[in-house]
């Protein structure tokens, strides 16, 4: 065992967040401290170790060589702390405590409320809060501890990158249809590649997972979509399609959440699909509220999505 002052994990976490966030102000904002408190954490950690961890370069703080070494160990120490906390909490028999759920777009609009309602009925001692996360950053939000569990999307044509620190629970799959303005063609009609290639398209940018998935799927079918409107928001895309400005894609859940729009659904002969997933930590013993939420959400979401499949 080392003699003298011991490491303080709050100070270690401050160094870790400084490295992740890039600036003292950003680290302070994420941790909920003042910049002065964060600076004091670093100074105390340096005093404990007896070495300088950061130095000023112009208006910025940069790591010294010793700081780089400590930053590497900080990630290991904080992961060990998370495992210890998770294992200890899992040993407690009660399903209780706070739970932060990462949501986005259609999951916040259509799935979160029924899941929270069922949790409240069956496990009233679990206090659920939600936080909006960028869909493409959902895995990172769980891995970095910003949320306990998050909804995500997995596409065969653009799968979520697998991460040893997280695990995925796959829920009900959804099939995409092509959405065009009502009256453009007959509802439920199957469309072939030549027609698809001749349409103007409304799609998210290819830099997003969703945009990559759609373009990769269409290329697999044998055509390159002629994108005339790049739009990330699903509701906006469907509104443009209803106005006759092009074709886009939608699932049954997307259609239900935008029920007032006058759209026609055309079916692909080789359908594109997506699967809503739940992302949770995979490298720590999960807290009971997390395990229960995953189980409860899985049942609720499967029921809802099955009811709105094409």
Would residue 253 count as lying in a domain? yes
State pTM to two decimals: 0.68
135 and 150 co-located in one domain: yes
Q: Which domain holds residue 266?
A: 177-271
Residue 257 is predicted with a pLDDT of: 85
- Could you tell me the CATH number of the domain that includes residue 290? 3.40.190.10
Query: Does the residue 197 lie in any domain?
Result: yes
In sequence order, what are the beta bridge partners of 177? 250
How sure is the predictor about 129, in pLDDT bands with cuts at 50, 70 and 90?
Answer: very high
Residue 266 contacts residue 68 (beta carbons within 8 Å): no
Residues 48, 70, single domain; the answer is yes
Residue with tokens 């004091």: 40
CA 94 to chain centre: 28
Q: Which of 196, 251, 249 is CA-nearest to residue 226? A: 196
Alpha carbon 278 to chain centroid, angstroms: 9
Residue 4 falls inside a structural domain: no
| pLDDT class of 282 with cuts at 50, 70, 90 | confident
- Summarised one tens digit per residue, pLDDT across range 211-225 is 999 999 999 999 999
Higher-pLDDT residue of 257, 249 = 249
Q: Are residues 133 and 247 in the same domain?
A: no
In 3D space, the residue among 279, 274, 271 whose CA is nearest the CA of residue 297 turns out to be 279
Residues in the chain: 310
For position 258, what pLDDT does the model report?
Answer: 86
Domain check: are 64 and 52 in the same one? Answer: yes
Quote the pLDDT of residue 93.
59
Residues 167 and 286 in one domain: yes
* pLDDT per residue as tens digits for the range 187-236: 567 888 999 999 999 999 999 999 999 999 999 999 999 999 999 999 99
Q: pLDDT grade, residue 186 (50/70/90)?
A: low
Q: For the chain, give the percent of residues with pLDDT over 70.
A: 93
Query: Phi then psi for 278, rounded to 5 degrees?
Result: -110, 130
Query: Is residue 31 a contact partner of residue 146, using CB atoms and an 8 Å limit?
Result: no
**Of 276, 283, 277, 13, which Cα lies nearest the Cα of 143?**
283
Say if CB 175 and CB 188 are below 8 A apart.
no
Q: Indicate if 161 and 295 belong to the same structural domain.
A: yes
**CA–CA separation, 269 and 185 (whole Å):** 16
């Amino acid at each position: 065992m080392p003699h003298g002052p011991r490491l303080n994990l709050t100070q270690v976490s401050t160094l870790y967040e400084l490295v992740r966030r890039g600036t003292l102000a950003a680290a302070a904002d994420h941790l909920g401290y003042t910049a002065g408190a964060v600076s004091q954490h670093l100074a105390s950690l340096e005093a404990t170790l007896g070495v300088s961890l950061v130095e000023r370069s112009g208006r910025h703080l940069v790591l010294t060589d010793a700081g780089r070494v400590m930053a590497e160990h900080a990630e290991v120490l904080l992961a060990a702390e998370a495992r210890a906390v998770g294992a200890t909490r899992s040993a407690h028999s009660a399903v209780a405590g706070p739970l932060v759920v990462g949501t986005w777009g259609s999951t916040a609009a259509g799935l979160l409320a029924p899941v929270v309602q069922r949790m409240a009925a069956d496990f009233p001692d679990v206090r659920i809060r939600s936080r909006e996360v960028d869909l493409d950053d959902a895995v990172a939000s769980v891995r970095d501890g910003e949320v306990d569990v998050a909804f995500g999307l997995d596409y065969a044509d653009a799968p979520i990158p697998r991460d040893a620190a997280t695990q995925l629970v796959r829920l009900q799959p959804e099939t995409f249809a092509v959405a065009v303005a009502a009256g453009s063609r007959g509802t439920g009609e199957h469309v072939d590649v030549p027609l698809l290639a001749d349409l103007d398209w409304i799609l998210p940018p290819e830099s997003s997972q969703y945009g990559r998935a759609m373009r990769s799927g269409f290329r697999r079918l044998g055509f390159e979509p002629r994108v005339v409107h790049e739009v990330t928001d699903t509701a906006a895309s469907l509104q443009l399609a209803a106005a006759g400005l092009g074709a886009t894609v939608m699932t049954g859940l997307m259609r239900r959440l935008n029920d007032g729009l006058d759209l026609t659904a055309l079916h692909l002969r080789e359908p594109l699909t997506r699967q809503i997933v739940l992302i949770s930590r995979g490298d720590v013993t999960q807290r009971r509220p997390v395990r229960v939420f995953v189980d409860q959400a899985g049942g609720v979401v499967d029921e809802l999505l099955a009811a709105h499949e094409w």
